[in-house]
Amino acid sequence: MRRALSSVLVLLSSAAWASEGFFQSEVVDAVAVKQAPKGTQDAAWSAAPAKPFSLAPQRTIRLHDKQANAVLQRAGATELVVRAVTTGTELALLLEWADATQDVVREDEVNSYADSAAVQVPVSFGKGQRLPAISMGDDEQPVRLWLQRATKAGSQLTALQAAGFGSSTRQGPATAPQGMMTFDANGKRWRAQFQVPLDAKSALVPVSFAVWEGGVRLERAGNKRLSSWRFVRVPGRTPDADYVASVSWGFGPKELGDAANGKTLVEAICTSCHHVPGRAVAPEGLAPSLVDIGAIATPAYLRESVVAPSAVILFGPNPNQHYDKSAQRDPNGAYPNAEAFQWFTVGPGGKRASKMPSFEKFPPEQLADIVAFLRTLDGRGTP
């Protein structure tokens, strides 16, 4: 009896430790306000605690732009500072980041690229639901997005819904009041404010962030810097313990393994398809890049990707960059896309399955080592 009670206490202590580490690292605490701030300089923001997060380039996206792709190869971790306030029915988020240049465009320009920012929230989330793929969701877990683009007339706001790469659709007209995206010319910093609807029950809201530097980095479309899923805790509400346990895996004691052992395993097994820092053997686009994966994926998602790769099916973002020149041309003279660069197969009934094999039979210690190493790929090293 004493031994059983001791085991329970150890488990409870471990869970509490995991939650504590998770909340310290991944969670923004929102502050209750009577009305949403009216702009990025509103006094309400001074009462909201600032939380720094790291953003890393989405290297899997390759544009038909040699110069932009060259910039993408540089180390690119960026610090984003986030604040949150809530009225109870709405969540207001303030994003702040450094940028040496202010890049604004006319709304009708197509040959210039604007500084921009976005927030992403799952359409549905909570106990028993996994998080969507960070790359604009997936077909089972779609996301809502709000994008602000710096224009000469002020910030241009677009509301979207998406279920994976290339699937975003506009969700009706949206306007951004003046002052919702402002540039501090002296401090060389952008601020962008977003308003996100909040239901009456949500206590822990998953949200991810992205920024684009249109001038020096030539970022646009999917070529951006983004975060992994982070969370906003709503004051006065208690997060579901089971949900916290599911999203906070990897922050508890002994949940992650030895990163050095994981590096050996990843370089021996994974680099035949994936790129990791210092090892880019496979053709570009054969599989998602892992160069900055630790900055844009949660530990729980990394673990699931290794043991159950078909749980989330990702669509390759650049299907028209690789062609099968051994196949017959179509009536217009074009070769079909090379199937090797499609990340999934389609079985009977149209069911899709990842081409990546499952490693669920690996010893748990080795799985923990692999995730520990992938977590170190945080965008700060040499690609």
Q: How many beta carbons lie within 10 A of that of residue 144, not counting itself?
A: 17
pLDDT in tens, 98-122: 999 999 988 777 778 999 999 999 9
- Chain mean position to CA 359: 24
| Per-residue pLDDT at 281 exceeds 90 | no
Residue 59 and residue 289 in contact, taking contact as beta carbons nearer than 8 Å: yes
What token pair was written down for 92? 């207001």
Residue 138's pLDDT is: 92
What domains are there in the chain, each with its CATH number? 25-237 (2.60.40.1190), 259-376 (1.10.760)
| Per-residue pLDDT at 7 exceeds 60 | no
Burial class (CB in 10 A: 0-12, 13-18, 19+), 163: buried
Query: Collapsing DSSP states into helix, strand and coil, what is residue 127?
Result: coil
Amino acid identity for residue 184 in this structure = D
Instruction: Report the run of H or E that residue 170 belongs to, with start and end.
Output: strand 169-170
What token pair was written down for 325? 């020149």
Quick one: average pLDDT of 267-279? 92
The answer to whether the pTM exceeds 0.85 is yes
Contacts of 53 (CB under 8 A, 6+ apart): 79, 80, 81, 82, 209, 227, 230
Quick one: average pLDDT of 219-228? 90
Closest CA to 92 of 179, 195, 180: 195
Burial class (CB in 10 A: 0-12, 13-18, 19+), 330: exposed
What token pair was written down for 46? 């001074």
Contacts of 324 (CB under 8 A, 6+ apart): 335, 336, 337, 338, 339
> Please, which pLDDT band fits residue 299 given cuts at 50, 70 and 90?
very high
Please state, in angstroms and rounded to a whole number, the distance separating the CA atoms of residues 248 and 298: 9
